[in-house]
Every structure is written in structure tokens, then in C-alpha cells.
Amino acid sequence: MKMSNMLISTLREVPAEAEIDSHKLMLRAGMIRKMASGIYNYMPLGLKVLKNVENIIREEMNNAGAQEFLASAVLPAELWQESGRWDVYGDELFRLKDRNNRDFCLGPTHEEVFTDIARNEIKSYKQLPINLYQIQTKYRDERRPRFGVMRSREFIMKDAYSFDKNQEGLDISYNKMREAYIKIFNRCGIEAKPVEADSGAIGGSNSAEFMVKSEVGEDDVVFCTACDYAANIEKAYSTAEKSEVEELKPLNKVETPNVKTIEELVKFFNTTEKRFAKTLIYNADDKIVAAMVRGDREVNEVKVSNALGGVVNLNMATPEEVFKATNAQVGFAGPINIKVDVLLVDEEVANMYNFIVGANETGYHIENVNYNRDFEGIVGDYRNITEGEKCPVCGGKVTISRGTEVGHIFKLGTKYSEAMNANFIDENGKEKPFIMGCYGIGVTRTMASIIEQHNDENGIVWPLSVAPYHVNIIPVNIKDEEQMKIANKIYEELKMIGVEAILDDRNERAGVKFKDSDLMGIPMRITVGKKIVDGEVEFKLRISEMENIKIEEAIEKVREEFKKNKLSVR
Ligand code: ATP
Ligand code: MG
């Protein structure tokens, strides 16, 4: 394309609203523009990249035997009521009514829709397995939209749903998706590692998230330094640290006026955090629940929610609720005689000796508390694993890094097929629910993640596979007929062999053109200037030194780059 015909929206200034590199650069390169909080328009340049990412995904999904589909984004409430999610999805669901006052929502994900399609269209085991996918706009009224298209309220997702007749079939479908995802992210030029993820109340090792390591990521990912183990911290099992055996001492109530936080308590008792057990009180779907962890540990709310059978709304209890449960102000909760529906006790706490807890009386704590002798609860793993702890698989040391989730694969089993009565007839003529899997990729988030991994002080550095244009041809002086002639010739020849080229024929200084080219991240630049008298042009990759080449070599140079990147041209 000739740049004089293009809408170029590059910005020199860094927009104040953007915090992270990808967001800043997408705005500065003119890829996206904001309409409202978490709602973006894709400008021509952004759309080109988006389509390239989509095509990589499409090719690999097709290669894996999945079939493309397109569902509506406007979904009738009835479907969501059938699965039970109309009531539990919460405020993230964009709800609306039609003129007849019927309820609808804008689809945040499409399990219900695809389950409905399957129950209507697939009758027999002979038709299985089936994997349907779509690349479609999703709507989620996120509590905190941020980082541009990383976490937006409207975004594009590739979502796929597999239907199998049995568990073995699902395992195969799932592994195919896992392999396809590895190829997709490789081709997009990002390192995304599958890590064990929480599967909510369904449980088991049934889900993996594809994580890109990133300081601006919103997830904590646990990696073992000795083996391959990797898991989201929400899921990573923490091994209880063993306490030294002590003789059980008698309980002792201690007056601790205004001493509430662990820090204050450590000072007051002149001991370490490990000597304490904290009791946190939650409202879990209107039940009052307490969770106990050692003084230096953090409660893992996902583990707590799963232990309770999959809680929808887990919130810290209000001071009033705390008072009801403990008869005390916040800061003095403990397990002895606490009035809660469920008391969850972290394994580590159950193994401690003579520890200190709140007395359930304002201004008091109790020393020498011991599990079993003084209280009981449901013992389990309810805390976050921490840096340097034991790997649950090999016992090696774990390390924790921030990560961004770009994809998620999930063995659903019969969760939706049972709820929605979606059955097929098996080999023996019996009705059976479909065994399902679902597989998502955040397409727009992937695009932003590519930029996070590929940029420098001058702008974006697109991998050739997703670049909006491959080559930028820059005539230094557009009034110079010879320069324009050569630039045009290279441009036409590149187009002929299927290379996406742009020709910067704008009446701007060369410096401006170079800056824009770098900011937009175009992988190759061919500058046509005064050296044409020697039969030469300049060839430059986005992040390497410029070299002078013969005019006739230009096309071959571009071809070589494609070859190096394992991409084909005509
Ligand atoms: P997160 O924990 O980041 O909110 P999620 O678990 O809600 O993600 P899924 O429901 O598994 O995400 O959605 C599939 C994929 O869609 C995610 O892996 C992610 O890449 C993408 N995605 C989810 N929410 C958003 C959003 N608000 N903006 C952009 N992409 C998103
Ligand atoms: Mg989410």
C-alpha cells in the first residue's frame, strides 16, 4: 500500500493513560483507539496484526481437525438459566432486555451455546468426536479493565469446544489442542508455557493455562527449578512445613490490648510469625467461614473456595459479621469456640505445637493452642506456596514469576452436557451425556503480549509472522523521479511474490519516515536514496545495522528473511 493513502495515526508523545509497554506502543503506533473504559477501536494497522494472529490460530485449529463456526454474541437468558450460570456469573455479565422485556446477555464465553448446538445436531456416537471453534468478540464487564486490550471489556477470543463419547476421547481432543496451542504461540513469536491451572469445583488436573512470563502479568506462576513442574499459584500444592515436636502446654489467655496485627503480636510476644496461626473470616455465598493459616502465610482464596464446593462470591467478612462469629472486634479471632459454618485449618497449622491465636474476646489472645486438643476443623491445603518452598512433584525448590494468561484449555467432562441434557446414543443404544472440553485463546491479549516481548526504545519489533507489513520502502526524496521509479519497481515486485510492502511516498523528511517505520515495527526497510547512482539501496532489519546492497539484490534479500523465519513467499 502507498502510505499517502493510508490512515497513519502515529503519536510521538507517550499517552498518559497507558502504563505498560504494549498499551503505550499500540496507542503510539496507531493500532488502537479507546472509545470508553475497556472498549477499543482497531485502527487499520492494528487490524492487520489482529488478522495475522487470527489466521495463525485458524490454520493450526484446522490442522488439529477442528471446524470453524460462528455463534451470535447476543445470547438468550434461557440458555444461561439452563446451565445455572445466569444467576452465578455475577456483574461481569453484560445483561440486556429486548423490546418485549425478554432477558439476554452479551456472550462472555460460549459453553452453553455450543452445548445447545451439540444436543440439537449430534445424535450418535458415530458422529463423534467433534471440535468446533470460533474467533469472535466477547463481552465481560470487568471490575478493573486495564492495560489496553490486555484486560478489556470487549475482546476477541478464539474459543473451541470438543465433544467426545468417552474420557479417552476427551484426553485425545485435549492433547491435540495442547499441541496446537504450542504451535500457535511459537508461530506468533511468544514463549507461552502450559502450566497447571485451577479447574474450580470440577477438580483434578484437568486444566492448563498458557502463560507468558511478564513483569506486568496479573498471575503468579510457580516453576520448579529442578523439574518441569509449573502451576498457577492458585493451584500449586503447598507442602506443610513440619514443626519440631513439643510437649503440649496448658492454654493461657493473655491480655493484648490494641495488639491486633501479626507484626504487633510478634513484637508483643517477642517471638516469630511462625508461632502464630491467623484466623481469617469470610462471607462465602452468605455462609460464614473461617480459614486458618500460619502467621507468615497467605490464604489462597481459590483453594478455600474449592474446599467449599465452588463458591461464587468469597469476600472478607464485615466487622459486623466478624463480631457475630467471634464476639470480638476484628483482630482477635481464633478457632476456639468460634461460631462459623465451616472452619478450614491449613495442614501446617494442624501440625504446629503450642501456638498463639486470637481469643474471640476483644483485647485477648490465647497461648499454647494445639489442634485436636483445643479445636477441630477441616484440614487441607489452603495457603499460597512461597518462593523457595518444596516442589510438590520432585521436592526441588520452586521459584515464582509473574505471568500473563494468553490461553486456557480445560477438560469440562459432563458439567454442561448434564446440566443441559445434551446426550448422544452410544454403541449400546443408550443415551449418554457428551464428554466435553473447552479451549480459549485471548486473541487481542496475545497481540499485546507479542508487543510486550518484542519492543525497544524506538517502538514495536514485530516478528515477521504477524507484522502488519513486511517491508517498508522509503524513497528519501519523493520529488526525485529516479528514486521514485526504483522504489515503485521494488514495491511492485515484492507485491508480485506475495510480500506485504508499503511505500512511504508521503511528503515528509526521511527521518520522520524512519521513526514511523520503527514505531510501527515494520521488520524490513529498504531506503532508496542518493546511492542509486552507484546502483545501490539501503537494506535494514528492524533491529540490525543498515547495509548497502545492489538494487537487483533487494528482492532476494527479502526472500532470505522469509526463509530464515520459515515463512514462504511465491
Ligand atoms: P483472567 O483470569 O485473565 O480474567 P479468565 O480465566 O477469565 O482470564 P478465560 O475465561 O479462560 O479467561 O478466557 C480465555 C482467554 O481469554 C484467556 O486465556 C485470556 O487470554 C482471554 N481473556 C479473558 N478475559 C479477557 C479480557 N478481559 N480481555 C482480554 N482478554 C481476555
Ligand atoms: Mg476473567
Yes or no: is domain 252-380 CATH 3.40.50.620?
no
**Whose alpha carbon is nearest atom 12 of ligand 1?**
408
Give the Å distance between the CA of 216 and the centre of ligand 1: 15
Q: Would you tell me how many other CB atoms lie within 10 Å of the CB of residue 560?
A: 11
Ligand 1 binding pocket includes 410 (Cβ within 6 Å): no
Among 138, 188, 405, 441, say which to mutate for ligand 1: greatest number of ligand atoms within 8 Å of CB.
Answer: 405
Break the chain into its structural domains and give their ranges: 3-236+400-452, 252-380, 469-564
pLDDT at 89: 87
pLDDT band per the 50, 70, 90 thresholds, residue 311? confident
Strand 103-106, strand 94-97: pairing: antiparallel
For 421, which DSSP code?
Answer: T
Give the Å distance between the CA of 17 and the centre of ligand 1: 22
The model's pLDDT over 400-415, given as tens digits with 9 standing for 90+, comes to 999 999 999 999 999 9
Ligand 1 binding pocket includes 140 (Cβ within 6 Å): yes
Burial-class residue 28 by CB neighbours within 10 Å (0-12, 13-18, 19+): buried
Indicate the angle between helix axes 167-187 and 44-63, nearest 10 degrees: 140
Give the Å distance between the CA of 536 and the centre of ligand 2: 53
For 361, which DSSP code?
Answer: S
Q: Would you tell me how many other CB atoms lie within 10 Å of the CB of residue 361?
A: 17
Nearest to 128 by CA among 138, 118, 113, 140: 118
Nearest to 253 by CA among 353, 340, 351, 369: 369
Residue with cell 432486555: 97
CA distances from 366 to 42, 135, 374 (A): 60, 58, 11
Between CA 14 and CA 103 the distance in angstroms is: 42
3-state DSSP of 131-185: EEEEEEEEECCCCCCECHHHECCEEEEEEEEEEECCHHHHHHHHHHHHHHHHHHH
Between CA 24 and CA 44 the distance in angstroms is: 17
Contact 105, 80 (CB under 8 A): yes
**Whose alpha carbon is nearest atom 1 of ligand 1?**
405
Between CA 182 and CA 63 the distance in angstroms is: 13
Specify the 3-state DSSP secondary structure of 566: coil
CA distances from 24 to 451, 458, 465 (A): 10, 12, 22
pLDDT at 14: 86
Q: Is it true that 3-236+400-452 and 252-380 share their CATH fold? A: no
Mean pLDDT of 9-21: 92
Mean pLDDT of 172-176: 97
Residue with cell 476427551: 170
Between CA 297 and CA 348 the distance in angstroms is: 10
Between CA 424 and CA 407 the distance in angstroms is: 29
pLDDT band per the 50, 70, 90 thresholds, residue 260? confident
Contact 161, 121 (CB under 8 A): no
Give the Å distance between the CA of 64 and the centre of ligand 2: 26
Peptide bond into 129 cis (omega under 30): yes
Peptide bond into 319 cis (omega under 30): no
pLDDT at 203: 56
C-alpha grid cell, residue 61: 485449529
pLDDT band per the 50, 70, 90 thresholds, residue 292? very high
Strand 219-224, strand 547-550: pairing: unpaired
Q: Would you tell me how many other CB atoms lie within 10 Å of the CB of residue 545?
A: 6
Give the Å distance between the CA of 68 and the centre of ligand 2: 24
Specify the 3-state DSSP secondary structure of 321: helix
Ligand 1 binding pocket includes 164 (Cβ within 6 Å): no
Between CA 299 and CA 385 the distance in angstroms is: 10
Nearest to 352 by CA among 446, 241, 482, 230: 241
Among 408, 410, 446, say which to mutate for ligand 1: greatest number of ligand atoms within 8 Å of CB.
Answer: 408
**Whose alpha carbon is nearest atom 24 of ligand 1?**
151
For 375, which DSSP code?
Answer: B
User: Hey, which residues does 138 pair with through a beta bridge?
Assistant: 155
Mean pLDDT of 488-494: 98
Q: Is the pTM of this model over 0.95?
A: no
**Whose alpha carbon is nearest atom 25 of ligand 1?**
151
The residue type found at 371 is: Y
| pLDDT above 60 (res 272) | yes
The class (CATH top level) of 3-236+400-452 is alpha beta
CATH superfamily of 469-564: Anticodon-binding domain (3.40.50.800)
The model's pLDDT over 21-50, given as tens digits with 9 standing for 90+, comes to 999 999 999 999 999 999 999 999 999 999
